[in-house]
């Protein structure tokens, strides 16, 4: 790799099945990961195995027999289809490397087979044990060691040892600037406001919590009813305004939707007392601004992940208050029922949640950078060891992907808001009326009669689609549920034109999500086009596009993407 290539990397658009994209967590302002839990889980697993000596002996015998076949060169053990660690031809063609790979895979499978999956055991305990075993087995993969990785050795030979120097430089850089974690993205080509978040617009409202951005129309006529985007609080809003051709904001504006977005401020410890009430109140302020500027009595709203939870709380509050300022709502990859299995709920025990609440209360914030690094270990192959090999053993720079840049640009979460989310996660109050109170009103989602458009991702490991589907039974309005074929983030960044994209729509909404999918129809393309028809029918008539942004009461100020988006964690 020459110096010029390192100085001027070209921005890449990742493929839909890129492992890191399917693994990144997006907004996960919840429990976190305590190393003592992992140790405790392994201890519990060892205690279980000690009580089942016959099971352990039988599986050990199977492993020894398989290892005998590996030594004899007749084993058929092979990596899983999506496992790219062993892509180098040496792993399949060189006798020694092939045996090393097969021995590792046989041992890895044996370790996972020992996880206690008894039906009487709670799903969280099973998932915790799977995770702890995964951490151990993936860390011990031969591909992670320089002397055992044929690709690393070839790279060192081909570059006369310079790859080792580059790898050491990358390692030292990550120790200094990335908390000791391998960097997942080359940030150098990106600049927010220059090649990310570039849709024209202006800040029309600013408070200590947020800015509201109005986007400039690009059509002669626009719909009467504005659309307000409510992003997650632990990620920057520009996931929906990523880059030209991949921007949801650009797409919506191009089709005549008067578009506004909230840009949350990055809180500091002095903002520790911003909670659910304050954020819902900020959303109401943003609605007031969007409606006044547009001359509309109401608006449509769109919430994503944790922003979708905030949106749902706001809808419940408005319903309880008799406030009609929201016409229809869209919720993307939003999990409101936390009782169903999910990655974020795996370690959500009372003790873990109390510890997480205490940590953020002590600091004043839940640090977004720390959270991103901790959650990377939930997908160790894709977000840790993949980059360990690429950055350190091969001496390569990580690729410059726009989505991964966004993922590495998190914000903090105020301690009070973090506590509020943790309470929702632990008590699961949104599944019952009056289980939680916001701005003095009890929240009953069944009283929310707005039309809703719900989107989930079929391969979403964060907000499992079946958990997202549960919302179809929680609201009282007419609901359209759409299931995309992608994961958590790729379900959002899904512009039309991707021939691989699919989405599923079903007219009936039975209680069982598996019954729904059986009756759902598959459609080619992006759900964006399907949503546009839905929201267009709920956006009123058309009117001439405004000649300028803002109004007398809400004057246009700082150009989009505003000031708050540039605040680092």
- Residue among 198, 258, 125 nearest 536 (CA): 258
Q: Report the alpha-carbon distance of residue 384 to residue 182 in Å, rounded.
A: 6
Give the SS3 label for residue 177: helix
The SS3 call for residue 214 is strand
Q: What is the DSSP string of 477-522?
A: S-EEEEEESS-TTTTTS--TT-TT-EEEE-S---SSHHHHHHHPEE
For the domain spanning 201-339+428-566, the CATH number is 3.40.50.1820
Which pLDDT score is estimated for 21? 47
Q: Which helix (H) or strand (E) holds 201?
A: strand 201-206
Q: Contact 312/331 with Cβ under 8 angstroms?
A: yes
Q: Give the pLDDT score at 244.
A: 94
Polymer length of the chain: 569
Pure H helices in 235-349: 248-254, 276-294, 306-321
Tell me if residue 45 falls in helix, strand or coil: helix
Find tokens 């220059």 and name the residue: 194
Angle of helix 53-72 relative to helix 35-50, nearest 10 degrees?
A: 100
The SS3 assignment for 36 reads helix
pLDDT at 93: 95
* Beta strand spans in 289-390 (E): 299-304, 326-332, 365-366
Spatial contact of 275 and 366, defined as CB atoms under 8 Å apart? no
The predicted pLDDT at position 520 comes to 96
Domain boundaries, the chain: 201-339+428-566
Give the number of C-alpha atoms closer than 13 A to the C-alpha of residue 103, restricted to the C-beta side.
16
Give the model's pLDDT for residue 283: 98
Strands of the 521-524 sheet, one edge to the other: 201-206, 210-215, 259-264, 227-230, 299-304, 326-332, 451-457, 479-484, 502-505, 521-524
The separation between the first and the last C-alpha atoms of the chain, rounded to the nearest angstrom, is 32
Active site residue 468: no
Q: Are 179 and 369 in contact (CB under 8 A)?
A: yes
Q: What are 179's two structure tokens?
A: 């908390």
**Residue 35 pLDDT:** 67
Rounded to a whole number of angstroms, the CA Rg of the chain reads 25
Helix (H) or strand (E) run with residue 374 in it: helix 368-376
Q: Is 290 helix (H, G, I), strand (E, B) or coil?
A: helix
| Residue 383 C-alpha from the chain's centroid | 13
Q: Is 81 exposed, middle or buried (0-12, 13-18, 19+ CB in 10 A)?
A: exposed
- Listed as ranges, residues in the chain with pLDDT below 70 are 1-35, 37, 117-120, 341-349, 375, 569
Residue 485 and residue 314: Cα distance in Å, rounded? 29
pTM: 0.88
Closest Cα partner for 99 from 65, 62, 71? Answer: 71
Helices (H), 51-200: 53-72, 90-93, 95-113, 123-139, 150-158, 162-177
Task: Report the run of H or E that residue 210 belongs to, with start and end.
Answer: strand 210-215
CA gap 51, 527 in Å, rounded: 51
pLDDT at 177: 86
The one-character DSSP state at 398 is: P
**pLDDT score, position 29:** 41
Contacts of 222 (CB under 8 A, 6+ apart): 256, 257, 258, 542, 543, 544, 545, 546
Each residue of 425-448: b (16+ CB within 10 Å) or e?
A: bbebbbbebeebbbbebebbbebb
**Out of 210, 283, 305, 468, which one is annotated catalytic?**
305
Whether residue 14 has a cis bond before it, omega within 30° of 0: no
How far is it, in rounded angstroms, from Cα 99 to Cα 115? 25
């Amino acid at each position: 790799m020459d110096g010029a290539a390192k100085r001027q990397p070209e921005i890449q658009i990742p493929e839909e099945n890129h492992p890191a994209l399917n693994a990144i967590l997006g907004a996960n302002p919840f429990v976190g990961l305590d190393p003592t839990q992992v140790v405790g889980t392994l201890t519990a697993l060892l205690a279980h195995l000690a009580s089942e000596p016959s099971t352990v002996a039988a599986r050990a015998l199977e492993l020894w027999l398989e290892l005998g076949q590996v030594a004899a060169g007749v084993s058929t053990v092979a990596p899983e289809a999506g496992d790219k660690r062993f892509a180098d031809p040496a792993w399949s063609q060189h006798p020694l490397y092939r045996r090393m790979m097969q021995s590792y895979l046989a041992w890895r499978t044996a370790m996972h087979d020992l996880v206690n999956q008894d039906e009487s055991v709670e799903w969280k305990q099973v998932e915790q044990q799977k995770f702890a075993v995964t951490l151990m087995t993936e860390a011990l993969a031969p591909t992670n060691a320089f002397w055992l990785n044929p690709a690393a050795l070839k790279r060192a030979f081909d570059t006369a040892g310079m790859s080792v120097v580059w790898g050491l430089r990358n390692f030292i850089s990550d120790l200094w600037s990335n908390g000791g974690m391998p960097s997942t993205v080359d940030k150098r080509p990106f600049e927010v406001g220059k090649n990310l978040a570039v849709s024209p617009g202006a800040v029309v409202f600013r408070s200590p919590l947020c800015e509201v951005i109005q986007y400039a129309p690009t059509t002669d006529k626009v719909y009467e009813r504005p659309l307000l985007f409510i992003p997650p609080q632990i990620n920057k809003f520009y996931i929906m305004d990523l880059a030209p051709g991949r921007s949801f904001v650009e797409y919506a504006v191009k089709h005549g939707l008067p578009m506004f977005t909230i840009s949350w401020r990055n809180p500091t410890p002095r903002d520790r007392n911003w909670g659910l009430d304050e954020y819902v109140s900020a959303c109401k302020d943003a609605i007031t601004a969007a409606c006044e500027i547009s001359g509309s009595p109401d608006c449509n709203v769109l919430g994503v992940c944790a922003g979708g939870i905030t949106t749902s709380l706001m809808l419940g509050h408005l319903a309880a208050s008799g406030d009609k300022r929201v016409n229809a709502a869209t919720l993307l990859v939003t999990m409101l029922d936390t009782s169903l299995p999910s990655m974020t709920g795996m370690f959500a025990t009372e003790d873990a949640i109390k510890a997480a609440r205490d940590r953020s209360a002590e600091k004043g914030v839940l640090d977004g950078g720390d959270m991103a690094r901790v959650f990377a270990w939930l997908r160790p192959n894709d977000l840790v060891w993949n980059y360990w090999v690429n950055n350190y053993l091969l001496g390569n720079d990580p690729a410059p992907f726009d989505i991964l840049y966004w993922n590495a640009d998190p914000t903090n979460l105020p301690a009070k808001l973090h506590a509020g989310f943790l309470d929702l996660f632990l008590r699961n109050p949104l599944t019952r009326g009056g289980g939680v109170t916001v701005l003095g009103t009890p929240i009953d989602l069944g009283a929310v009669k707005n039309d809703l458009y719900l989107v989930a991702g079929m391969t979403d490991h964060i907000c499992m689609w079946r958990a997202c589907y549960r919302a179809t039974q929680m609201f009282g309005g007419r609901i359209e549920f759409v299931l995309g074929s992608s994961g958590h983030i790729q379900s959002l960044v899904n512009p039309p034109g991707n021939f691989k994209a699919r989405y599923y729509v079903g007219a009936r909404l039975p209680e069982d999500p598996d019954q729904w999918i059986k009756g759902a129809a598959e459609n080619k393309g992006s759900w964006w086009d399907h949503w546009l028809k839905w929201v267009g029918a709920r956006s009123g008539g058309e009117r001439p596009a405004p000649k300028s942004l803002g109004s007398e009461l809400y004057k246009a100020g700082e150009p989009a993407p505003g000031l708050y988006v540039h605040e680092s964690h």
